Amino acid sequence: QAQLVESGGGMVQAGGSLRLSCAASGLAFHMATMGWFRQAPGKGRDFVAALSSNGINTLYADSVKGRFTISRDNAKNTVYLQMNSLQFEDTAVYSCAAGPSFRANAAAYSYWGQGTQVTVSS
């Protein structure tokens, strides 16, 4: 059945970079909008980025615009989140999600990964 598995999280100093990956299986990846969300300690889940099924259209939260880049490789059923100029405030559990429509709202997504921890030290 549908499964999303994130990887690439870890610890990095402020100003550094990480690339997250999300491998999808059991779904029509090439037809799905893919999104990244994050949840910081003690806070709710926030939208980070979304990418349309054709890999052309993107949405970014204002807090990450210009620093993060979402991309996908439909041949590998994988979506990526390149995170540059990381800040302490980016510390969170990052989850990928798949859904039928191009939206920033978490309610629009049907499938979710387990999340991967990103910790940015100051």
pLDDT tens-place string over residues 15-46: 999 999 999 999 999 999 999 999 999 999 99
Burial zone of 62 (CB within 10 Å; 0-12 exposed, 13-18 middle, 19+ buried): exposed
Is the separation of the CB atoms in 93 and 117 below 8 Å?
A: yes
Q: Which of 93, 89, 102, 111 is nearest to 23 (CA)?
A: 111
The overall longest dimension of the chain from CA atoms, in Å, is 40
Grade residue 109 by pLDDT with cuts at 50, 70 and 90: very high
> Percentage of residues in the chain with pLDDT exceeding 70?
100
Predicted local confidence at residue 32, as pLDDT: 96
How many other CB atoms are there within 10 angstroms of residue 101's CB atom?
A: 13
